[in-house]
Amino acid sequence: MRPIQATIHLRALAHNLGVAKAKAPNSKIMAVIKANGYGHGLLNAAAGLKNADGFAVLSLDEALALRNAGYQQTILLLEGVFSANELQAVSQHQISVVVHHVGQVEMLEGAQLAHPISVHLKINTGMNRLGFEPTDSDAMIKRLEVCSNVSEITLMTHFATADESQGIAAPLALFNQTTASQPYPQSLANSATVLRFPEAHAEWVRAGIMLYGSSPMADVTAASFNLKPVMSLSSEIIAIQHLEAGESVGYGHRFTADKPMRIGIVACGYADGYPRHAPNGTPIAVAGQLTQTIGRVSMDMLFVDLTHIPQANIGSSVELWGEQVPIDAVAQSAGTISYELLCALALRVPVKVVE
């Protein structure tokens, strides 16, 4: 059997949830587990985060899978419903929905539901992605207040630059000004806001990438926040090659040795979810020692420098990312973010879940 494997550590998920609770002790924690639990598996993520106050997902199918698995927490559809037909199941299974455009308000007003629905009304404070303009929010709130299909209202927004130097001061001020007269609970904070801006924690925080052991800020490590990696991606050396000075390796000969080198071929490639565009020098660990990738990543294999690891041989363990090689470091080297790497894990990679 091909040796590549992703290992999901449920205790690390629970630990990172504890970090979120410690950072926002007066808020309820909405654990974001969309995109198949950020590549960790929807129900795997839910199991590790079972003590969260709620779960946020993208699709109705995800929400129903959580209900069918026995989870009774608040479950929020982050983009709301896409058609009025979904409202019956939402009502029956007591699923909360984001409302971000007038068509969704009209769906609620025109539906005949057995049970009213909890609604999170989204206000656009500069992200310019989803949400009502601040000038329209009062009118939308009034319509929801008199709608018999609405049981509760929460006000929410999403910050575009919580992970960057400009922070959230301007959009937070706009949100506070817009909602000053409204008595409803609020949901504002993503992971970066949870970690950086306690003034925006409010009644709910929506913790996402931090729960999976990755930092939402490019210049701050996950370890500095006491976050633990949840996914480890590992494989083995399946062949050894020797290069002389001037010899090259891999497609396109992207790497040429300037001295004699010993290289290992690893059973992992872009068809497994490893980034094809990862350059020479991307961190990797072999037999417990840090080294670097060389050459272009292939569909099923990649190359590592073993010159300074004489004990490494065929069968030696390789960590692509995990406890020794932070996924943030791999992502930064490859010019992307950890979210993409986690979500890109291929279905063909076996997944092992451990406590």
122 is known as an active-site residue: no
At residue 132, the 3 state secondary structure works out as strand
Q: Which helix (H) or strand (E) holds 283?
A: strand 283-286
Is 76 in contact with 96 (CB distance < 8 Å)?
A: yes
Catalytic residue among 23, 34, 71, 274: 34
The full DSSP string for 286-338 is ETTEEEEEES---SS-EEEE-TT-TT--TT-EEEEESSSS-HHHHHHHTTS-H
Residue 267 per-residue DSSP state: S
Tally Cβ neighbours within 10 Å of residue 70.
8
H-state helical runs in the chain: 10-23, 34-38, 42-48, 60-68, 87-92, 102-110, 134-145, 169-179, 191-196, 327-333, 338-343
Q: Virtual CA dihedral for 195, 198, 204, 208, nearest 10 degrees?
A: -10
C-alpha 34/C-alpha 66 separation (Å) is 11
C-alpha 266/C-alpha 333 separation (Å) is 18
Query: And the tokens for 304?
Result: 């590592």
Query: Would you please indicate which residues are annotated as catalytic (active-site) residues?
Result: 34, 251
